[in-house]
């Protein structure tokens, strides 16, 4: 793929650690743009057990922390990235990544 396979970027994932205390919190910078549809907007969602669907252009800073929710959370990226912190691990969110946080999972996405 690339002639030089040397990693030229320093990882920042080491500065984060797994957590054992959780709060429900959402922070979006003023530059972020989000669009969501919920089951009240699209009646067909209910028959497929979909609570909400959306897309976002996350710029500058973004932080979501959940102390356990009653739905699965599916994240996928087209470009860009971030960090996902759970009770057991810290994972880099990279471009074109698809991941699922299970129902009742506690997580932070940055």
User: CA 19 to CA 89: how far, in whole Å?
Assistant: 9
Q: What is the pLDDT of residues 66-87, one digit of tens each?
A: 777 777 888 888 888 888 887 8
CATH classification (class only), 9-29+60-109? mainly beta
Helices (H), the chain: 44-47
Q: What is the pLDDT of residues 25-55, one digit of tens each?
A: 888 899 999 898 999 999 999 998 888 898 8
| Tokens matching residue 9 | 């970027």
C-beta of residue 89 within 8 angstroms of C-beta of residue 14:
no
* High-pLDDT (> 70) share of the chain, %: 74
Other Cβ atoms less than 10 A from the Cβ of 107: the count is 22
Q: pTM here?
A: 0.64
Helices (H), 9-94: 44-47
């Amino acid at each position: 793929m690339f002639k030089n396979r040397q990693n030229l970027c320093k990882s920042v994932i080491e500065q984060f650690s797994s957590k054992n205390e959780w709060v429900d919190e959402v922070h979006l910078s003023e530059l972020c743009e989000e669009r969501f549809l919920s089951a009240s907007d699209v009646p067909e969602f209910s028959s497929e057990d979909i609570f909400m669907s959306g897309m976002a252009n996350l710029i500058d800073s973004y932080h979501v922390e959940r102390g356990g929710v009653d739905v699965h959370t599916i994240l996928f990226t087209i470009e860009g990235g971030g960090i996902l912190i759970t009770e057991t691990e810290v994972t880099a969110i990279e471009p074109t990544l698809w991941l699922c946080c299970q129902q009742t999972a506690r997580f932070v996405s940055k």
